Amino acid sequence: MFILLPALLLLITAAALATLQVFQPAFRYAWLIASAGALLAWLSVWLWLPVMPSAFSADAYLGGARFLADSISWPYALSLTTLALAVIITSVVRPNFPNLFSWAGTFTLSGLGLLAVLANGPITLAFAWAALDLSELAAQLRPAGALRSTERTVIGFGARLLSVLLLLWAAIYGKTFSFETSTAQSGLLFIIAAALRLGVLPAQISSAPESSMRGGFSASLRLVSAAASLILLARVPSASADLPLAPFLLLITAATGLYAAFLWMRAPDEISGRPFWIIALASLAVAASLRGNPLGSLAWGCALLLAGGALFLASVHNNILARGLALVGAWGLSALPFSVSAIGWESGTPAHILTWLSLPALVLAQALLTLGFIRHALRPANPSALEAQPIWSRNLYPIGIGFLLTTLILLGLIGWDGARALGSLPSALTAGAASAALYWLTPRLRWLNPSSARAISTPTLNAPLDTLQQFFGGIYRGTGRLIDIVSAALEGEGGILWTLLFLVLFLALLTPETR
């Protein structure tokens, strides 16, 4: 039960903030309560280290609710609690400060995300996914928006629902109720389910327009959902990479990652490019699992959360903060020895021609990701925006970003089996050299420069892979038309006749048969 303490602290804090917003909206110490809750959750994750691995189970349903704190779940748990803490600290410079409902939403998402990364069985993880998906759907449908935006939100929810069903089917068909007993076949299904949620297979952009979703809650909404999916890749048996289908999936994943990384590098700003950041780094994580290196997926996943979180929360900054962000973020993505991503290029599978074909695309994707990160981090600063804040908020704001960057460095050194890794130096150096070369070529080649927001606002990354979205879109539109027909039939005087007819039929069904 001790390992569930961080999630409980976040959920209790969320309930307290929501209650204060309803009954005491002018309460002066709400930010202190939020900060205390996030800090206690963050500290309690560090207390796992002496007792790992530590398990907790409850026989609530088939297979029981299983949770495990070990060297795989700990880095993700630390990343999620650090992100929640950074969101609260950096909120002091937001225009809508204080925003208790937004903080409550961030804590709720983070608490559910912690339950997902602690899940030690596919059924437990499926329930955590479902809770996160419903929370995300409610958050995206709440603001009034265009019909097209609502449709894309529902389509995205349908794709994630399909991944939940696939995960449950893999668990029941393979009789896998704990990740320790996973077979190679079920592991490959796990990879497909995670890739489907992350938008890698089939390639797709996030369902909601990023330009309308800014701030700490928006970052939490995207990154927590990604972490809940990435944890499954780290639980996949290495033997899954030996199956015949794995090299073909690896080649598709590499193409998706390369294209997404290119669009991330050309995005006009980090918010517009956020879907590409998630898909590109998720592709590297999926590729690591398909190459028999599940710990490598964990490395790329932590880089996605921590480096991305720092970048997306840095809405206002000065030159010093921007340079530190660019330097530490590039280090986290470099895969150099002792960085968090160092183990990302190791491979546990025998050589295969498709593996060799996919490797250059994956290395180039890493180079484009690094170049794009540096470009977005070093965007022209607006010092007056930060200087206009009170002195206490100016001093607190960099601490929130610093928490994420410090954790990014620490995870390269302690806490899990991929810490202090030397990694694959040739791949890391090749990616670094490619980043430097592309940076030098940027002012000389027009197609390497950032594009307009309109140019990247396509609904998918790969047109041939739109079938899934079209399927859910058809269901969404068909259901809407059916509801319109039923509503029209029940309106006015005709509705009274239909009501009487349904009442008669209902009574006929309830009347016992007589002989």
3-class DSSP string for 203-258: CCCCCCCHHHCCCHHHHHHHHHHHHHHHHHHHCCCHHHHHCCCHHHHHHHHHHHHH
The predicted pLDDT at position 66 comes to 85
The predicted pLDDT at position 477 comes to 54
> Residues 369-378: pLDDT tens digits?
999 999 999 8
175 pLDDT more than 50: yes
**Which has the closest alpha carbon to 13: 96, 81, 97, 95?**
81
- What are the residue ranges spanned by the domains of the chain? 2-465
429 pLDDT more than 70: yes
Residue 296's H or E segment, with its range, is helix 294-313
* Mean pLDDT, range 89-102, rounded to an integer: 87
**Which has the closest alpha carbon to 366: 334, 342, 412, 337?**
334
**Which has the closest alpha carbon to 69: 1, 21, 142?**
1
Q: Is residue 509 classed exposed, middle or buried when 0-12, 13-18 and 19+ CB atoms within 10 A define those classes?
A: exposed
Q: What is the pTM of this model?
A: 0.86
* Mean pLDDT, range 404-412, rounded to an integer: 96
The answer for residues whose C-beta is within 8 angstroms of residue 48's C-beta and 6 or more apart is: 3, 54, 69, 74, 77
Q: How many other CB atoms sit within 10 Å of the CB of residue 227? A: 25
350 pLDDT more than 80: no
The predicted pLDDT at position 142 comes to 57
Q: Which CA distances in Å does 217 have to 123, 140, 196, 213?
A: 27, 11, 23, 8
Confidence of residue 380 (pLDDT cuts 50, 70, 90): confident
C-alpha span between 377 and 310 (Å, rounded): 9
Residue 69's H or E segment, with its range, is strand 65-69
Q: Is residue 423 classed exposed, middle or buried when 0-12, 13-18 and 19+ CB atoms within 10 A define those classes?
A: buried
> Residues 268-317: pLDDT tens digits?
889 889 999 999 999 999 999 999 999 999 999 999 999 999 999 987 77
> Residues 436-472: pLDDT tens digits?
999 898 888 887 787 654 444 444 444 444 444 555 4
Confidence of residue 12 (pLDDT cuts 50, 70, 90): very high
User: Which tokens sit at 457?
Assistant: 């606002």
C-alpha span between 25 and 27 (Å, rounded): 6
Confidence of residue 68 (pLDDT cuts 50, 70, 90): very high
Confidence of residue 382 (pLDDT cuts 50, 70, 90): low
486 pLDDT more than 60: no
C-alpha span between 235 and 190 (Å, rounded): 9
The predicted pLDDT at position 385 comes to 63
The predicted pLDDT at position 476 comes to 43
